[in-house]
Amino acid sequence: MTQAATTHRVWKLGADVDTDVLAPGHAMKHGIEKIATYCLESVRPEFASQVRPGDVIVAGPNFGIGSSREQAAAVLVKLGVAAVIAPSFSGLYFRNAFNVGLLLLTCPEADRLQEAEQVALDTKHLAVISGTGERLACEPIPDFLLDMARSGGLMNQLRIRFGKKATQ
């Protein structure tokens, strides 16, 4: 599978993007909708207003370091970000992301992707296909986590477990 129907626009960020720039402390008292308007304000002020559903973030190593606040992942879901692609993630952020239904792809060669490039995602075999057709392999993810992301997060799985209807 080298040709995918859907492509995703890349927002390229640097290394060590922390939870406090994804979901700033001053905004944390608000609901997710409002926190999302401040997402990345101190490093990419235009991000929250210009990101489009389906876009992806490509970042440097250690994405998501810092706090346990899952809003730092939930804001990206709220803004419609399809995935974050980086060479490494904070372990705590990694858990939170899948719990709220955000796909993270650990991609050692993420840096080869460029700002505004259109990429495709192979979520079955875990790879990113660059604008020039180059295939960048990503590290494996346990099936139960992929299922969690696909079903929209842990809350949806719990809804089913407790006999409620899942939402999207």
Partner 1 sequence: MKAAVPQTLAQKLIARAAGRPSVSPGDIVTCEVDLAMFHDSSGPRRLKPMLEELGAQIWDKSRVVLVMDHYVPERDDESRRIVRIARDWAREQDLPHVYDSQGICHVVVAQHGHIRPGMFCVGGDSHSPTGGAFGAYMFGIGSTEMLGVVVTGEIWLRVPQTLQMHWRGRLQKGVTAKDMMLHMIGRFGMNGGQYQAVEFAGPAVQALAMQERMTLSNMSAELGAQVGLIAPDEVTAAWLQAAGAPASELGDLSRWQSDESADMTRHEFDAGALSPFVAAPHSPANADVVGRYSGTPVDVAYIGACTGAKLDDLRAAAEVLRGQRVATGVRLMVAPASQKDQNAAREEGVLQVLLDAGAELFPTACGACAGYGETMGDNTTVISSTARNFKGRMGSASAQVYLASPYTVAASALRGVITDPREVLA
Contact residues toward partner 1 (CB under 8 A) are 16, 18, 20-21, 24-26, 28-30, 42, 61-62, 65-70, 73, 88, 90-92, 94-96, 99-100, 142, 144, 153-155, 158-159, 162, 164
CB nearer to partner 1: pick between 53 and 142: 142
Distance in Å, CB of 142 to partner 1, minimum: 6
CB nearer to partner 1: pick between 51 and 64: 64
CB nearer to partner 1: pick between 57 and 96: 96
3-class DSSP assignment, residue 67: coil
Distance in Å, CB of 138 to partner 1, minimum: 17
Q: Name the H helices within 52-103.
A: 71-78, 91-99
Identify the CA nearest to 35 among candidates 51, 54, 19, 22: 22
DSSP 79: T
- Which run of H or E residues covers position 118? strand 118-122
Distance in Å, CB of 3 to partner 1, minimum: 34
156: which residues sit within 8 A by CB, 6+ positions away?
101, 166, 167
Burial of 103 (0-12, 13-18, 19+ CB in 10 A): buried
Distance in Å, CB of 18 to partner 1, minimum: 5
CB nearer to partner 1: pick between 3 and 42: 42
Distance in Å, CB of 17 to partner 1, minimum: 10
Identify the CA nearest to 22 among candidates 57, 61, 53: 57
